[in-house]
């Protein structure tokens, strides 16, 4: 069951994936099961007391501590995903989804699937008519990714492939392909073979040195309209009388690179078009 397809009744039902938000922004995501309990350091909540409650309800543990009942959003699920590897942040994932044009019915391939955070986002966006192909060479990590997608009810949308990028990919004419590898520049020929003509390629690397090598390889393998960016996020305190940035911000976590697969490069197509790489100046 897709965790996002549970809105008809307006109340939490057995089998639904729910988010219990406690104080201090600590949350718990679980699937409701009659007779089960959630045990926290702030008390116990019985699933039977949650089933049938409207979304947004205020609940209390046996110790009287408050929890609020919500349907989890995609970002909530990604943050709570079990991991053995570093996962991508929602701030990068959201931009990747937009730039790669991921939507219902699309066929998307990723290599370096890790614990499945980006996989889950791809699976959510392609819907029941699309397909995600996730390659990972570490079998233990891929087993965890499968478990995470099963917990979210989206495993039927994903084909998990054990394998190394150096060996290439089975699929052809995919709409978009994303490489989350230490050296994606070594595998652009394999990516190009699986991408449809004009398809989207995305990559994530942490350092400027890697970006330089990626740019050289993108040009060498005929990827046009290349974009390089990093996404910084700053939160603000929500006290209206003392509005200011919080002390910490989510700064550099990686460089994103994008390109379009073409048959040849003739001129300036290796750079992003005006209006994509930077905002036009205001008048």
Q: How many CB atoms lie within 10 A of CB 265?
A: 15
**Residue-by-residue DSSP string for the chain:** --TT---SSSB--TT-EEEEEEGGG-EEEEE--TT-EEEETTEEEEHHHHTTPBTT-EEE-TT--EEEEEPPPHHHHHHT---SSPPPPHHHHHHHHHHTT--TT-EEEEE--TTSHHHHHHHHHHTTT-EEEEEES-HHHHHHHHHHHHHHT-GGGEEEEE--GGG--S--SEEEEEE-SS-GGGGHHHHHHHEEEEEEEEEEESSHHHHHHHHHHHHHTTEEEEEEE---B--B---GGG--B-S--B----EEEEEEE-S---SGGGBPPTTTSSPPPP-
Q: What is the pLDDT of residue 250?
A: 79
Q: Which residues, including other chains, have CB under 8 Å from residue 34's CB and lie 6 or more apart?
A: 14, 47, 48, 51
pTM reported for the whole predicted model:
0.85
Structural contact between residues 82 and 98, judged by C-beta atoms closer than 8 angstroms: no
Residue among 39, 38, 49 at smallest CA distance from 11: 49
Per-residue confidence (pLDDT) for residue 119, from 0 to 100: 96
Single out the residue of 155, 157, 109, 154 nearest to residue 136, CA to CA.
Answer: 109
- The reported pLDDT for the residue numbered 79 is 83
From the list 173, 175, 78, the residue with the least C-alpha distance to 119 is 78
User: Considering only the top CATH level, what class is 75-270?
Assistant: alpha beta
Which pLDDT score is estimated for 107?
A: 98
pLDDT computed for residue 281 by the predictor: 46
Backbone angles phi, psi at 186, to 5 degrees: -80, -10
Fold of the CATH domain 17-72: Vcp-like ATPase; Chain A, domain 2 (3.10.330)
Helices 139-152 & 117-126, crossing angle to 10 degrees? 40
pLDDT digits (tens, 9 = 90+) for 87-131: 788 899 999 999 999 999 999 999 998 889 999 999 999 999 999
Every domain of the chain and the residues it spans: 17-72, 75-270
Q: Are 280 and 265 in contact (CB under 8 A)?
A: no
**How many residues are present in the chain?**
283
Per-residue confidence in pLDDT tens, the chain, 283 aa: 455 555 556 999 999 999 999 876 678 999 999 999 999 988 999 999 999 999 999 999 999 999 999 999 888 888 888 887 777 888 999 999 999 999 999 999 999 988 899 999 999 999 999 999 999 999 999 999 999 999 888 999 999 999 999 999 999 999 999 999 999 999 999 999 999 999 999 999 999 999 999 999 999 999 999 999 999 989 899 888 889 998 888 788 899 999 999 988 876 555 555 545 555 444 4
Distance CA 150, CA 132 (A): 14
Give the separation between CA 130 and CA 127, rounded to whole angstroms: 6
Which two tokens mark 9? Answer: 């009744």
């Amino acid at each position: 069951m897709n965790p996002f397809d549970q809105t008809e009744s307006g109340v939490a039902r057995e089998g639904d994936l729910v988010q219990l938000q406690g104080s201090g922004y600590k949350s718990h995501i679980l699937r409701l099961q009659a007779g089960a309990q959630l045990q926290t350091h702030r008390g116990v909540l019985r699933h039977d007391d949650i089933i049938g409650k409207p979304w947004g309800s205020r609940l209390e543990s046996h110790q009287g501590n408050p929890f609020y009942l919500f349907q989890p959003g995609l970002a909530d699920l990604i943050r709570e995903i079990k991991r053995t590897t570093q996962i991508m942040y929602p701030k990068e994932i959201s931009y990747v989804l937009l730039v790669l044009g991921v939507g219902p019915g699309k066929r998307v391939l990723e290599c370096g699937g890790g614990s499945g955070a980006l996989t889950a986002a791809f699976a959510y966006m392609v819907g029941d008519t699309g397909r995600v192909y996730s390659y990972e060479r570490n079998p233990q990590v891929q087993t965890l990714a499968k478990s995470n997608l099963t917990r979210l009810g989206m495993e039927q949308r994903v084909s998990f492939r054990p394998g190394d990028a150096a060996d290439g990919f089975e699929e052809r004419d995919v709409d978009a392909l994303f490489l989350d590898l230490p050296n994606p520049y070594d595998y652009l020929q394999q990516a190009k073979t699986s991408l449809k003509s004009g398809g989207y390629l995305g990559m994530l690397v942490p350092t400027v040195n890697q970006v330089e090598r990626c740019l050289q390889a993108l040009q060498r393998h005929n990827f046009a309209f290349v974009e390089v960016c990093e996404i910084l996020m700053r939160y603000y305190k929500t006290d209206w009388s003392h509005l200011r940035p919080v002390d910490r911000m989510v700064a550099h976590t990686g460089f994103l690179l994008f390109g379009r697969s073409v048959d040849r490069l003739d001129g300036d197509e290796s750079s992003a078009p005006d209006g994509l790489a930077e905002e036009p100046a205001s008048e």
